[in-house]
Amino acid sequence: MSSVPRILLVDDTPENLDVLSGILEDLDCELLVATSGERALELAGRRLPDLVLLDVMMPDMNGFEVCTRLKADLATTEIPIIFVTARADDISQGFRVGGADYITKPINGDEVRARVRHQLERQSMLAELKSFNRELESKVRERTAELTIANRQLREEINERRYMQDRLNYLATHDFVTRLHNRNALEAHVSELLARIQLENISATFLLIDIDRFRLINESCGCIAGDELLRQFADSVAGLLTREDFFARLGGDRFVVVTQGAEYDKGMDLAQTILKHLEQFNFQWEDRQFKLAASIAALPLSRAMVSYDQVMLAADEVIFVAKRDARGAVFSLEEATKRSNLHKDNINWASRLVDALQNQLFRAYFQLLEYFPDSTQKYSSSYRLEVLLRLWDPQTRRMVSPGEFIGPAERLHLIPELDKWMINHVLGLFSQHPQLLEKMDLISINLSAISIRETQLAQFIINSFQQHQIPAHKFCFEITETQAIVNIDSARQFMQTLRDFGCHFALDDFGSGFASYAYLHQLAFDKIKIDGIFVRDMDVDPSHYAMVKSIIEMAVSLDKEVIAEFVETAEVAKQLYTLGVHWGQGYHHHKPEELSSQALERYLA
């Protein structure tokens, strides 16, 4: 890090840049300014700032895509990024793409300076630590012959380095505002505790605390007041805990207490004690005074829970019911399930998905694709379809859409099992009816980005094709943008292995995510499916029409076949064909129905 820190400010609104520049004026920093995502990437690569303050909403390239591209570049990957946003929903997505912190709009000068100083201090210590490491290596080589004389000095430098490492470890595992453990430390603690519970007779309770009306205080008094409230709340609750209790801030207005060595009833008692204590808690800011309350989800940690994500999913479900039905109360999973008569689908996805796999409750549906040119074209006797996963709920006697169960399945790491079920089911059907497969041009199957991280999945798919004696070139695997592929090397190897075997790959929902363009250059996609959010109303929305047109032009330049989703009207189909798209998918042509040989024969006969 240079002697004068260099900060890059990115915002498409000049007035916002002026405000930020004025706030940071007294920090003795060199300020760089960019009014677009492309300019920000160019400046960052050339000037290598020590910190980036990045606006989320920008017209040409939003902040999430800028962040993703900076993190993908080795030259800029370590630069911390603070997102500047007016929407609370952007905060969690910002952290997912690699953001280090966030600043909320309207901008508060004290908050900006505090968060910027924190990141600059951390960068400075990282730079010093790297410098110390280089110096130590050099000195060890140069002073081997003078080891006795240099020993004392080396010990002092090693101690200093250890201090720096301890400080960095503290910053990595503690919350900046409250000085409590952060969510990374919480995940590590709970994961270790769950592993011990599998082997030992340990009692533990997980308490998720959600502060009620925190947003009211934060928005009426400002972010500085909100941070002070969080600090006072943390100090107040910490006084009720023992040294063995683990206390962490999960993020926002959520906290977690993990109490170990006590029966579940005692954990519930602690939760009630916290609520009663908060009845006497008053937060005062300037001339305003606020009463504070909280909703608490209490879960016993048992051998039935095998992962941190499973615990958090259950706690989120309980707190959802608690805040909906009775704010300022303690709820258990059992009680929340009983109260959730109108929202049963939100509760206990872990058990529901495991039971569905064991009891064969999943169903395969299919939707035919439409070939836009007339019947004289070369695909007139060929068909394409996409298979779609559904879940049958025997209690409500209805089919559950993927939007309801895919998210929980990914959090519980069950999604690979669902993908494997679909692959075996579809290959099994077409192996029993080769006359139907012969008439098919392409069959598409969705794969979760989480699934392709499994090292053995490619071989599983190859073995399935060989077992069912099905030609691989008839099948295309679709991978959506909504999940960032963490290990790009593994993804590239997975796709190349199956491409060599004969399979096709499509990038699904193209245009809605922030990572499409980066993946397109690195991974072996040969088809692009335009996100239906742009296609559905492109005939009446000029901006969506322009987006679809630009995607098609880019795909053509890269020699990628284009498929459009959510084609619901003849006019949209006509416009797509005029733009050069030959394949469409949507209700205009075919509504999804359950996959069976009888259903396919009606169309392929």
Domains 1-169 and 351-528+589-604 share a fold: no
Give the tokens for residue 421. 């079920």
**Distance between CA 592 and CA 565 in Å, rounded?**
13
| Low-confidence stretches of the chain (pLDDT beneath 50) | 341-345, 375-380, 482-484, 486, 514-516
Q: Which residues contact 320 (CB under 8 A, 6 or more apart)?
A: 336, 343, 346
Q: Which residues contact 590 (CB under 8 A, 6 or more apart)?
A: 367, 368, 370
Q: What is the pLDDT of residues 214-247, one digit of tens each?
A: 766 766 677 787 788 888 888 888 888 888 899 9
The domain locations on the chain are 1-169, 183-347, 351-528+589-604
Beta strands 254-260 and 204-212: pairing type? antiparallel
Evaluated on CA atoms 548, 551, 556, 560, the torsion sign reads negative
Q: Residue 564 has what pLDDT?
A: 94
β-partners of residue 445 are 477
Q: What is the pLDDT of residues 173-215, one digit of tens each?
A: 888 788 888 888 999 999 999 998 888 888 899 999 888 767 6
Say what the pTM is.
0.49
**Distance between CA 199 and CA 38 in Å, rounded?**
53
- How many CA atoms lie within 13 Å of 170's alpha carbon, on the beta-carbon side? 11
**Distance between CA 493 and CA 452 in Å, rounded?**
10
Q: What is the pLDDT of residues 256-280, one digit of tens each?
A: 999 987 677 888 889 889 888 888 8
Topology of the domain covering 351-528+589-604: TIM Barrel (3.20.20)
Phi, psi for residue 157 in degrees, rounded to 5: -70, -40
Query: According to CATH, what is the number of the domain 1-169?
Result: 3.40.50.2300
> Which H or E run includes 446?
strand 440-447
Q: Which residues contact 198 (CB under 8 A, 6 or more apart)?
A: 303, 306
Range 183-347 classified under CATH 3.40.30.10: no
Q: Residue 467 has what pLDDT?
A: 95
Report the greatest alpha carbon distance in the chain.
91
Q: What is the pLDDT of residues 322-344, one digit of tens each?
A: 776 666 788 887 777 666 544 44
Which whole-number Å values give the CA distances from 467 to 386, 447, 451, 464, in the listed order?
Answer: 22, 20, 21, 5
Identity at 416, one-letter amino acid code: P
